[in-house]
Amino acid sequence: MKSSWWNLRTNLLILLSLTTVLFYQNCAKPVSEMSSSSVVASSSSNSGLSQQDVVNSKAMSVLVSKCSSCHSDTMKSAGINVLDTNEMLANGLIVPGEPSLSLVFTVIQSGQMPPSKPLDQADVQAVFDWVTNNFTSGTTAVTPTPTPTDSVIASYASINKNIIVPKCLGCHNSNNSSGGLSFSSYNATMNAVQKGFPASSSLYTSTAIKRSMPRNGAALSSSETKAISDWITAGALNN
């Protein structure tokens, strides 16, 4: 009788020890062993959002906080508005599922944008995930909006309104004079202009000859570069 009780007691102690070991092994499992998808799924479940919603939210938070000051509907530097996804899709700035072909991602990954301070890796990854996963299904085809006929004429007021403000001022302003140039006023713009000589004026050569500007947007049309050339040739008046 005593032997049976002792055997039962021993077995219970062994079972308790094994249970304790297994419990601590599970509790001690590093967080890093959890897959990123399971973390996102857990977060999504707790917040009531889908995984796609979470990816979208992270990326848009980056674009709003780090990019929209120069690229929005009111400050459309290089013709880009990061707050309008349909517009970016229509203009080819986002190629669904192809970050390496999507300008909105490549300029961020390379550190070209934002020009003042490259984004940290977490922000770059958020935009990568967004382009990779957020447009692969259920994306409505977007028909590009026809580009209106150029109305720019050879005057400072017209060039400033139609070219400088929407396509240059985001990177060349009084607070961020990229390349040492600011186009925030007529006098500031004249630092890039040699009156009467378009070929000696960086405002013209960079947009019409080298075609290096706007840096991250569509090249200027022939009528836009002609307006700049004609304005400079006529004396680059403040008209």
User: What pLDDT was estimated at residue 91?
Assistant: 74
User: What pLDDT was estimated at residue 38?
Assistant: 39
Q: Is 234 helix (H, G, I), strand (E, B) or coil?
A: coil
Helical H runs in the chain? 2-27, 36-47, 51-66, 85-90, 103-109, 121-133, 156-159, 165-167, 186-189, 202-204, 222-233
pLDDT averaged over 10-residue windows placed end to end, the chain, 239 residues: 51 48 41 35 53 82 85 76 82 83 85 82 90 60 44 92 85 80 91 93 90 80 91 95
d(CA 84, CA 108): 17
User: What pLDDT was estimated at residue 47?
Assistant: 52
User: What pLDDT was estimated at residue 49?
Assistant: 65
One-letter identity of residue 31: V
* Paired strand residues for 71: 76
Neighbours of 17 (CB within 10 A): 10
How is 53-80 classified by DSSP, letter by letter? HHHHHHHHHHHHHHTTTTBSSSSBGGG-
Asked whether the beta carbons of 229 and 126 are under 8 A apart, the reply is no
Asked whether the beta carbons of 129 and 136 are under 8 A apart, the reply is no
Whole-model pTM: value is: 0.43
Among 207, 61, 226, 206, residue whose Cα is nearest residue 154: 226
User: What pLDDT was estimated at residue 227?
Assistant: 93
* Domain boundaries along the sequence of the chain: 46-133, 156-233
